[in-house]
Amino acid sequence: MMLCKLSLKNIKKSIKDYAIYFFTLILGISIFYVFNALESQTIMLNISSSTKEIIKLLVSILSGVSIFVSFILGFLIIYASRFLMKRRNKEFGIYLTLGMSKRKISLILFIETLVIGILSLGVGLILGIVLSQFMSLIVANMFDADLTNFTFVFSGSATVKTIIYFSIMYLIVMIFNTLSVSKCKLIDLLNDAKKSEVIKLKNPFICIVVFILACIILGKAYLLVTTDISTLSEFKDILIPIALGSIATFLIFWSLSGLILRIVKSNKKLYYKGLNSFTLREFSSKINTMVFSTTIICLMLFVTICLLSSCLTVKNSMNKNLRKLAPVDAMFTITMNMDRDYTYYKNYGYNDNQIKNSKYKVIDMFNIFNFDITSYFKEYIEVNTYATKDLTMNHTLGSKLNEIRSKYPFLAYDTRESIMKISDYNKVARFYGNREYSLNSNEYIIVADFKSMIEVRNVALKNREVINLFGHTLKPKYDYCVDGFLEMSSQHINTGIIVVADNIIDEDYLVLNHLLGNYKTNNQEEIIKLENSINDLDKNSKTKDYLLPSGSTKLSIKEATVGLSSMVTFIGLYLGIIFLISSAAILGLKELSEASDNREKFQVLRRIGTDEKLINKSLFTETFIFFMTPLVLALIHSVFGIIFALKVLEVFGTEELLPSIIMTSIFIVIIYGGYFLITYQSRKNIIKEKY
């Protein structure tokens, strides 16, 4: 009973020390609950069965991510407990001096950890339950769900999972604390506060050389992920700039830890102004002993910024693309004239009857399956695309082929180009609301919207490369690709369509027939029923002899888009926020640990008459610089990291980058800034204590 009272009294007395610990635990618990309660949050949403399957998959993925997150949070809690243990070394030394056994000290720590765990779990779960209601609104908005049946949702499964995971973490902390107490020596505990870090000044010449070398390595890494991105065709290649960037980051912090003090000391006016000399030496002491930790924190912040910016960009861009790139209700396509490439299609699994019967267009093929597709459309059009082995990318790139092949060796240069009549393309453009074009009989244009392929093709177009098609020599009308597409999608996937005058086309080379239309009804349930009926045609026995047209509809594209964007968004947010919390918490705890150790230094400043405002200003400045140092370099890394990410994700479109960067900045200001303010206030309270 006495030990319980002592434990509770210790918690109350040291509440300012526990502030950042509580803040970390509460944030971690609430975020863990919110993302694991996703399935329960979607129960009241009126969504389709396919969307429910997408959410089920998302929940499964997030459960796997939660295991990884639990390891990060577990490490963070153990790291935080180390700070609290160190903070109280003198207290434990006094306990031992008064005759208290190590077993009883361990019991005190056990009770304290248990009480803190219960309090943080309670507050964290309450906050998580509240935040999860807002998450329900985000999910509903993302999946365009009906919220008429919205009610307050409590997830029992997420609560149980959160309690189990964090109970295991607390148990590990208790074991760690017990082992720490059992190994401690009385003399070390009593003299711990008298220990101080010795600032070892590094050789400035070596620091300058290392700094220059680090900048060169970092420049090479930046070059690889921007201008030399074509060399990163495989995952193992991407590891090279990552490794270079990590090594350079470590070397920069190592060299700066030895240069900053010398550089500022050379400016006597700045160095001796106010408490700058004291502030700078305090900062140098920390950065000297935290080079590796600062490197890890910088890289975690870099990953956080890139994750949050990229995942939010993908979500925003895909939602915007859906409106632009899926402008009609449905598009059905059938492959024709397969007998021209009998061996090719035979190797792909088509049987002789399917190849022989590939003479029918989409409407005719649906009629063979006794399904009048046109009766469901209020308006529709038919267009064709053509292909020949005499016109591949090798031919369209012309004299620029070798130059482009050396830069982009992984492209499929033998792929046959897709060809359209200008009248058919304009028919599609009118239907989609896009720009129409005109051509002379000796001209061609290339329509594309995939940025990387546009850059490749523009090299040849700027060189005015001619092509030979069905006995005609054609020159480009424009020295650039024009924007446009045929196939509906939520992504920019059109790598290029060669559009020529109608009289150029040889109808024998017809490859695909397309039917595009808008349904008579706008009722969601009726559309789902219609598309299910079309999908059921695949069960018809006639598929043994005839090909069923493949289809892409606005509804199916929307569901797939929402599924992919939601997975990217939720996983990116989950990991990004956890990394951000971890980075800020480690910095904050390190600062508080140093404040505890160096409290006597501030007492000395007071004894010699230093103004309290000047002390607080020094404390604020040193804390601010300490938090900003890894963040500034992480921001520089992120500029090039986001450029690389956008290159990889350009198929989704990158028009929505600015809103994503703004949202990422808000996350950083709230979480990282929150930790900074709590750390500063806690340090101020610690140094005011009587030593």
DSSP string, 159-228: HHHHHHHHHHHHHHHHHHHHHHHHH--HHHHHHGGG------PPPHHHHHHHHHHHHHHHHHHHHHTTTT
Mean pLDDT, rounded, for 493-521: 93
Place 396 in a pLDDT band, splitting at 50, 70 and 90: very high
344: pLDDT strictly greater than 90: no
Q: What is the DSSP string of 471-536?
A: TEEEEESSSSPEE--SS--SS-----EEEE-GGG--GGGEEEEEEEEEES---HHHHHHHHHHHHH
> 434: which DSSP letter?
-
Give dist(CA 422, CA 414) in Å, integer. Answer: 24
3-class secondary-structure state, position 40: helix
Q: What are the pLDDT digits (tens) for 466-501?
A: 999 999 999 999 999 999 999 998 788 899 999 999
| More confident call, 259 vs 337 | 337
In this prediction, residue 503 has a pLDDT band, given cuts at 50, 70 and 90, of very high
270 within 8 A of 276, measured Cβ to Cβ: yes
The pLDDT tens digits for 301-321 are: 998 898 888 777 777 677 677
Q: Which residue has the higher pLDDT, 342 or 505?
A: 505
- Give, in order, the Cα–Cα distances in Å from 510 to each of 47, 56, 160, 260, 381: 41, 42, 61, 70, 17
By DSSP bridging, strand 510-519 and strand 377-386 are antiparallel
Q: What is the pLDDT of residue 443?
A: 95
Over residues 447-467, the mean pLDDT reads 92
Segment (H or E) for 415: none
Residues 262-302: pLDDT tens digits? 776 666 777 667 777 777 777 777 777 778 888 888 998 99
Confidence of residue 388 (pLDDT cuts 50, 70, 90): very high
Residue 226 tokens, joined = 């921007």
**Sequence-distant (≥ 6) Cβ neighbours of residue 500 within 8 angstroms:** 419, 420, 421, 422, 439, 443, 444, 469, 474
pLDDT reported for residue 423: 96
Which two tokens mark 559? 């569901």
Question: Please, what is the average pLDDT of the chain?
Answer: 80
Q: What is the pLDDT of residue 565?
A: 72
Asked if residue 143 has pLDDT above 80, the reply is no
Judged against a pLDDT cut of 80, whether residue 464 lies above it is answered with: yes
Higher-confidence residue of 510 and 685: namely 510
Phi-psi category of residue 398: left, alpha or beta, with phi > 0 → left and psi -120 to 50 → alpha: left
Cβ of 15: how many Cβ atoms within 10 Å? Answer: 11
Q: Where are the beta strands (DSSP E) in 522-653?
A: 550-553
Of residues 591 and 42, more confidently modeled: 591
Number of Cβ within a 10 Å radius of residue 226:
14
691, pLDDT greater than 50:
no
At residue 612, the pLDDT reads 78
- Determine the Cα angle at 30 with ends 83 and 589, to 5°: 15
Task: Determine the residue type at 264.
Answer: V
Residue 201 has pLDDT above 90, yes or no: no
Predicted pLDDT at 330: 94
SS3 (DSSP) at 416: strand
Nearest to 586 by CA among 31, 83, 199, 29: 83
User: For 68-117, how does the pLDDT look when each residue is reduced to its tens digit (9 = 90+)?
Assistant: 788 887 777 777 676 666 666 666 666 667 667 667 766 777 777 777 77
Check residue 418 and give its pLDDT.
95
* Mean pLDDT (whole number) for 637-646: 83
Instruction: Quote the pLDDT of residue 461.
Output: 95
Would you state the pLDDT for residue 3? Answer: 59
Q: What is the mean pLDDT of residues 572-598?
A: 80
